[in-house]
Amino acid sequence: MTPDPYDGFPPGFFDRDDDRPDDVFYAPPRLVTHIDDRAIAAVGALYTELGITGRALDLMSSWVSHFEQPPAELVVLGMNAEELAANPAATERIVHDLNVDPRIPLPDADVDAVVCCVSVDYLTRPIEVIAEAARVLRPGGVLAVTFSNRCFPTKAVRGWLATPDEQHGPLVAELVRRAGGFTEPRVELRTPPGPGDPLWAVTALR
Q: Is 151 exposed, middle or buried (0-12, 13-18, 19+ CB in 10 A)?
A: middle
pLDDT of residue 29: 66
**E strands in 4-136:** 55-59, 73-78, 92-95, 111-117
Residue 96 and residue 187: Cα distance in Å, rounded?
28
pTM as predicted: 0.94
Q: What are the tens digits of pLDDT across the range 101-129?
A: 999 999 999 999 999 999 999 999 999 99
Query: Within 10 Å of residue 2's Cβ, how many Cβ atoms?
Result: 4
Neighbouring-strand partners of residue 113: 56, 142
pLDDT tens series, the chain, 206 aa: 678 999 999 999 999 998 888 777 766 666 567 799 999 999 999 999 999 999 999 999 999 999 999 999 999 999 999 999 999 999 999 999 999 999 999 999 999 999 999 999 999 999 999 999 999 999 999 999 999 998 888 899 999 999 999 999 999 999 999 999 999 999 999 999 888 999 999 999 99
Domains and CATH numbers, the chain: 22-205 (3.40.50.150)
